[in-house]
């Protein structure tokens, strides 16, 4: 019996630890050959021989288990290095089939205290990093599709966050970057559908090195797997990367602790028409002020109830 991802190749960014590591291991377990990307050590980006850094350690873990993997230690937020990452996958495995964007950093601070660098660095790694790899992978799939005269196999799984969905007062940079990733994903899903490529986005909740302070003290009592273990997230990524998920495109899913929630797209809650050629201040006051006065106090566009989701 063949494995779901047998014969396919994948890139996982930020895969040296935490969520990315769990995702890379899961894709390999399902049969994919994996490029394990993790920034910080000299390696397959052309900057020197691979060392035993996190990317090489995860790649070796995959190979020891009987899989196929190579490390890449370039910076996905650098346009050139992101292109080299995609080229490495094509050179090593003949083609690229799956792109999992996971790499990210945190620089938490309230908006009135945030520095320019704290804003720029988070937007760069998360949002620009997702764009960079997507851009080169998309070009690869478009070229292959045009050459073949038919659709090809392509899967993108991007990583957003509940910080975008529910709002996060101390993470304006992170929430903005993760919201941008949702927009990037839905745009990409529409642009690449005709080439056979799907693009979906997940909002994972997991205890990793990056989030250990955020989730400190949230371990639920009892034996067994931590409800915030990355192992709860990886199977969904493997599924979305598989042929079985061909009909899923441009979707947003929340995943953690043995639970997957499918989020609905925004819907129009109310509509107001001017009785004149255009609205006046007084007309808007007469329509919108009572409308919002009747809404729950403190309610915003953010869906804070998502944070209360648990396996039932």
Q: Catalytic residues, which ones?
A: 161, 174, 178
Beta strands in the chain (DSSP E): 9-12, 33-37, 69-72, 98-100, 154-159, 197-204, 252-256, 259-262
Tell me whether residue 283 is exposed, middle or buried, using C-beta atoms within 10 angstroms of its C-beta: 0 to 12, 13 to 18, 19 or more: middle
Q: How many CB atoms lie within 10 A of CB 110?
A: 10
CB 118 within 8 A of CB 109: yes
Q: How many CB atoms lie within 10 A of CB 156?
A: 27
Q: In whole angstroms, what is the distance from residue 97 CA to residue 86 CA?
A: 10
Tokens 């850094």 correspond to 53
Would strands 154-159 and 197-204 be described as parallel, antiparallel, or unpaired? parallel
Would strands 98-100 and 9-12 be described as parallel, antiparallel, or unpaired? parallel
* The pair of three-digit structure tokens given for residue 207, joined into one six-digit string: 């205890």
Q: How many CB atoms lie within 10 A of CB 229?
A: 18
At residue 178, φ and ψ (nearest 5 deg) are -70, -35
Tokens 């955020």 correspond to 214
Q: In whole angstroms, what is the distance from residue 100 CA to residue 272 CA?
A: 41
Which DSSP category does 185 fall into? H
């Amino acid at each position: 019996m063949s494995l779901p991802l047998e014969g396919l190749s994948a890139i996982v960014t930020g895969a040296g630890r935490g969520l990315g590591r769990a995702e890379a291991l899961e894709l390999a377990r399902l049969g994919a050959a994996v490029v394990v990307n993790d920034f910080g050590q000299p390696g397959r980006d052309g900057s020197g021989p691979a060392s035993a850094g996190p990317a090489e350690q995860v790649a070796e873990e995959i190979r020891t288990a009987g899989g196929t993997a190579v490390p890449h230690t370039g910076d996905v937020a650098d346009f050139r290095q992101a292109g080299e990452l995609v080229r490495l996958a094509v050179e090593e495995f003949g083609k690229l089939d799956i792109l999992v964007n996971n790499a990210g950093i945190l620089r938490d601070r309230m908006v009135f205290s945030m520095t320019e660098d704290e804003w720029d660095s988070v937007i760069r790694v998360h949002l620009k990093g997702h764009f960079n790899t997507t851009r080169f992978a998309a070009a690869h799939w478009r070229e292959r599709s045009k050459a073949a005269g038919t659709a090809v196999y392509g899967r993108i799984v991007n990583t957003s966050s509940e910080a975008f969905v529910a709002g996060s007062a101390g993470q304006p940079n992170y929430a903005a970057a993760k919201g941008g990733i949702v927009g990037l994903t839905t745009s990409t899903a529409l642009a690449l559908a005709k080439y056979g490529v799907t693009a979906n986005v997940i909002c994972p909740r997991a205890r990793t090195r990056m989030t250990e302070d955020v989730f400190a003290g949230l371990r639920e009592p009892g034996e067994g797997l931590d409800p915030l273990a990355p192992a709860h997230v990886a199977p969904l990524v493997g599924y979305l990367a598989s042929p079985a998920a061909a009909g899923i495109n441009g979707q947003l899913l929340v995943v953690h602790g043995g639970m997957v929630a499918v989020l609905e797209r925004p819907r129009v809650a109310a509509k107001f028409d001017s009785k004149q050629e255009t609205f006046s201040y007084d007309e808007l006051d007469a329509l919108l002020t009572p409308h919002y006065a009747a809404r729950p106090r403190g309610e915003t566009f953010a869906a804070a109830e998502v944070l209360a989701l648990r396996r039932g």
